[in-house]
Copies of this chain bind each other. A is one copy, B any other.
Amino acid sequence: MKKNPHFISHLAHVEIFSTKLEESAVFFKDVVGLEESYRDENSIYLRAWGEYYHHSLKITKGDKPGLGHIGWRADSEEALKEAVKYLESTKFGIGWIEGDVGHGPAYRFKSPDGHLEEIFWQVDRCEIPEEKRSKWKNRPQKNHGRGISPRRIDHITLHSNDVKKDREFYQSLGFRYNEGIYLDANDPESLEIGAWLSVTNLSHDIAFLKGNDNTPGGFNHICYAVESREEVLLAADYIVESGYELEFGGPTRHALAEGFFFYVIEPGGNRFELYAGAHLIFSPDFGPIRWNVKENPNDAWGRVMPWEKDGKMIDDTSKVGLIK
């Protein structure tokens, strides 16, 4: 096995578009329990109590919900340069931007399916007012316990019209290919229906699900993590008591990637996932675990994902195909 590039250290932030910016802000601040770091006319910047950077979520006014961009932190300043050099050698590189509130210069690129992304090194640490500071030096602030109160961003899940192409592109950036769903897992040429990849020890930092409407850059959900499954269960009640509906009957466990989770649609139209208990992956040659779509790998206990409603599957044998 050749040496893997280590361009990227982890998922730093995600920008999503909301059709109802203020309602989205209320959901993410009061129900989810994120902290507002900054806001301007078009965007609100948020972070979880356990995060060190200025923000992990940027919500921007939009005509429809979906992905704005994804921000990856480089592994070092030197790694950023190497990453840019590599990206410029592909057709996916776009170029440098000056940065944004909370971080410095970023090199932008597009995934094969058209998701806008950036990689950067210089980042602003969040400024924590005295009264919110933790007693423990290794926590950026107190866990305030407001709302669900996740500790950190976990991952992002996208749609792709060609999962294989996106998966291979991310592997070239140093992501490990941990698990995948295939129409027929025994057929090496089988259509790929899902792919789970990571640069960290998480079960995935990014995942792709097969879209089938030819729209580029599709978005499935953003996920934040709490530290116990008990907190996911408490949060499920809290979501319902706050007036929202859990998708497809509330918490369950993914077989693939193992997270215990639920989904809820935030007021701006985006799917939000809460997560705990996913396994960690340490072995550099762990995957790929090849699942057959008929095995229903998205659920360990026999349920089907919400995007399978109304029979809108990519074909009759699929359990994971998507429709937007």
Chain A interface (Cβ within 8 Å of chain B)?
1-4, 6, 9-10, 50, 52-53, 73, 75-79, 82, 121, 134-138, 142-143, 145-147, 151-152, 179, 200-202, 227-231, 233-234, 236-238, 240-241, 245-246, 248-253, 255-258, 260, 262, 277, 279-280, 282-284, 286, 289-291, 295, 297, 299-303
Contact = CB atoms under 8 A, between A and B. Distances in A.
A305 B129 CA distance: 32
A3 B145 contact: no
Contacts of A260: 233
Nearest to A239: B301
A181 to B, nearest CB: 11
A280 B52 contact: no
B279 A50 contact: yes
A93 to B, nearest CB: 20
Contacts of A289: 137-138
Nearest to A148: B145
Nearest to A133: B241
Counting chain B CB atoms within 10 Å of each CB, which of A52, A82, A240, A256 scores highest? A240
B143 A241 contact: yes
Contacts of A151: 279
A302 B230 contact: no
A258 to B, nearest CB: 7
Assembly of this chain: how many copies?
4
A249 B241 CA distance: 23
Nearest to A174: B6
B277 A78 contact: no
A262 B152 CA distance: 26
Given A75-B284, A253-B233, A255-B138, A145 B147 contact: yes
A1 B229 contact: no
Nearest to A196: B138
Given A228-B229, A300-B240, A250 B250 contact: no
B250 A302 contact: yes
24 contacts: A2-B76, A10-B283, A50-B279, A52-B283, A73-B282, A134-B241, A135-B240, A137-B291, A138-B255, A143-B241, A145-B145, A145-B238, A151-B279, A200-B282, A202-B280, A227-B277, A228-B229, A229-B230, A229-B233, A233-B260, A237-B253, A248-B302, A250-B252, A250-B300
Contacts of A53: 283
A280 to B, nearest CB: 7
Given A138-B258, A228-B229, A249 B282 contact: no
Nearest to A246: B301
Contacts of A245: 302
